[in-house]
Chain A
Amino acid sequence: MLTFSPAKGQILDVLSDIGAEIGKQTGALTPEQAEAIKKAGKAVNKTFEAITPEQEYYIGRTVGAVIINKYPPYDNDQANRYLNLIGQSLAQFSDRPETFGGYHFLLMDSNEINAFSAPGGLIFISRGMLNCCKDEDALAAVLAHEIGHVQHQHGLQAIKKSRLNSAFTILATESAKQFGGQDLKDLTTAFEGSINDITSTMMNSGYARSCEKEADKTAVEIMKRAGYNPNGLTEMLMEMKKHLKPGGLDFAKTHPSPDSRIKDLTKLIGPYQRVTMPVKRQARFISETGN
């Protein structure tokens, strides 16, 4: 038997429509006011999924700028070019190869073990993280994990619901006109809050364990499709375990332990098998990264 069970959001939409209609019919509201209430009612039910790729792009640019403000870039054209050759090739094998502004990768001049992905595809890897990679497949694993976060929009999911409510309500009630004055200020406040939600999650509290697991799973899939050995991820985690310092402010704080990630990986790809690297691939890894 077919049954209709509307989602909570749909019920709220209907209620706001009914309320607005009653207000209009009784003369308590003008038609314009009633329309604004209907739209605002719909707006507050929206989630991060209502953020358009273009808006995601602008959020990502600013998240990236905040990251760079804290971790200066490693200004090395050769190494960054190599990073982009691996990363942009890998992104083509993800389920979301096309984002508004595309995928771009940058090394950060920091010995902390860190990697960040801003919404939309701006990805940052620290030199400390690069030092955990002994070959190209291990580096590919780090990049594929970050692409996984972009694909699943984990950054956008960190934005508090109240922040999105404010933004979507402004947008819904002021649908047509160009923004200016107070509207722009209010929207910028919501934007600023969203950036803060994302960066504080990435840099301080870390994503939920389920998100990290999902990003590792996606990394394995991307690596397999591209032709890299997913055991590269296991090798990177084994190396990371040696470098992480207890109480550190980097991956030690924001990510599940390498051991638990390796345990989960074993369920996906079977027991660890040593990665054998073609001579040319290893030679270019050493010459391009200096590792």
Chain B
Amino acid sequence: MKIKKLFSGCLVTTCLIAAAAIAADNSKMMSVQVKTTSLRNSPSFISKACATLAYGDRVEVSSTKGPWSKVNTQKGATGWVHTSALSPKKIVLKSGQETAQTRASNDELALAGKGFNSDVEGEFKKQHKNINFIWINKMEKMRVTSAEMQRFLKEGSITPREGGAK
């Protein structure tokens, strides 16, 4: 009887440890919550980008340094991403990928393209033909690369504080 109790006690403990390990493991998984972002060699925006990550990509966070997360991608790459680009939620990109779990917990999963989306913008445009989006699209193409920023700051004798972005 005692052995049985001991056995069941051990089993419960093992289950709890396993559950805790799974929870800990899950908490390290994050999703990219911006259109695209760079995976960098070191935790700084002036560091060279080694890969590009896209919306919904899952990454495993192995460590953090200030606002930066060191991540492993599913394609096997390792590098640093600013944590503001990441979400703990799993982002489901297509409605076909949705599972019963999606309906069960909106706190753990987010459906990309749900809510205020391109369909809603399209409907808004239909109702407001005087509102023009041409310049918004032009603005979004106005991009400055990391190298251009560095050159710009250097030429203007602007010296970022050590550590840069927080």
- The judgment on whether A and B are partners is yes
Given A58-B116, A80-B142, A100-B34, are A106 and B135 also a contact pair (CB < 8 Å)?
yes
Q: Smallest distance from the beta carbon of A175 to chain B beta carbons, Å? A: 5
Contact, CB under 8 Å: A68 / B116: no
What CA separation (Å) do A96 and B37 show in the bound complex?
A: 13
Interface membership of A241, Cβ < 8 A: no
Contact, CB under 8 Å: A102 / B143: yes
B146, closest chain A residue (CB): A92
Contact, CB under 8 Å: B121 / A225: no
Contact, CB under 8 Å: B142 / A105: yes
Contact, CB under 8 Å: A55 / B130: no
Please indicate which of the listed interface residues A42, A54, A100 has the most CB atoms of chain B within 10 Å of its own CB.
A54
1/0 per residue A97-112: CB within 8 Å of B?
Answer: 1111110111000000
B81, closest chain A residue (CB): A98
Contact, CB under 8 Å: A191 / B124: yes
Please indicate which of the listed interface residues B85, B115, B158, B164 has the most CB atoms of chain A within 10 Å of its own CB.
B115
What CA separation (Å) do A52 and B45 show in the bound complex?
A: 24
Contact, CB under 8 Å: A55 / B115: yes
**Chain B residue total in the interface (Cβ 8 A):** 55
Residues of A within 8 A of B156 (CB): 136, 278, 280-281, 284
Interface membership of A289, Cβ < 8 A: no
A39, closest chain B residue (CB): B106
Residues of A within 8 A of B166 (CB): 93, 95, 225
Interface membership of A287, Cβ < 8 A: no
What CA separation (Å) do A80 and B135 show in the bound complex?
A: 12
Of residues 63 through 85 on chain A, the ones whose CB sits less than 8 Å from some CB of chain B are 64-66, 68-69, 73, 80-81, 84-85
Extra contacts, 12 of them, besides A68-B135, A98-B82 (Cβ < 8 A), are A51-B116, A62-B124, A65-B131, A65-B133, A93-B164, A98-B37, A171-B114, A177-B95, A184-B120, A188-B124, A191-B120, A284-B155
- Pairs across A and B, CB under 8 Å, 29 listed: A51-B115, A58-B116, A58-B118, A58-B121, A69-B130, A69-B131, A80-B142, A81-B142, A84-B144, A93-B166, A98-B82, A99-B34, A100-B33, A100-B35, A101-B140, A102-B34, A104-B142, A167-B116, A171-B114, A172-B106, A184-B123, A187-B115, A224-B161, A225-B165, A227-B161, A278-B157, A280-B156, A281-B157, A284-B156
Seen from chain A, the residues whose Cβ lies within 8 Å of a Cβ on chain B are 39, 42, 51-55, 57-59, 61-62, 64-66, 68-69, 73, 80-81, 84-86, 88-89, 92-102, 104-106, 122, 136, 167, 171-172, 175-179, 184-185, 187-188, 191-192, 194-195, 224-228, 278, 280-281, 284
